[in-house]
Amino acid sequence: MGVRNVSISLGRGQADVLLSEESPASEASLRRAVDASGFTLRSIEMPEGG
């Protein structure tokens, strides 16, 4: 899927996902993966140029 690392903070209700530069995951595939896991995606933030 193009994911290199995932860090989850239950206290903040946040997951940080580091995408692979070689084949990054699309926003649509990330949304499907979160939904299929039974969670609610509130937002996707990407750094400038990313």
CA dist 34 and 26 (Å) reads 13
Dihedral sign of CA atoms 11, 47, 41, 35 in order: negative
Average pLDDT, the chain: 85
pLDDT at 47 over 80: no
Q: What is the mean pLDDT of residues 43-49?
A: 78
Residue whose pair of structure tokens reads 């989850």 in the numeric block:
8
> What is the chain's percent helix, strand, coil content, to nearest 5?
20, 25, 55
Does this model's pTM top 0.75? My answer is no
Dihedral sign of CA atoms 34, 28, 9, 3 in order: positive
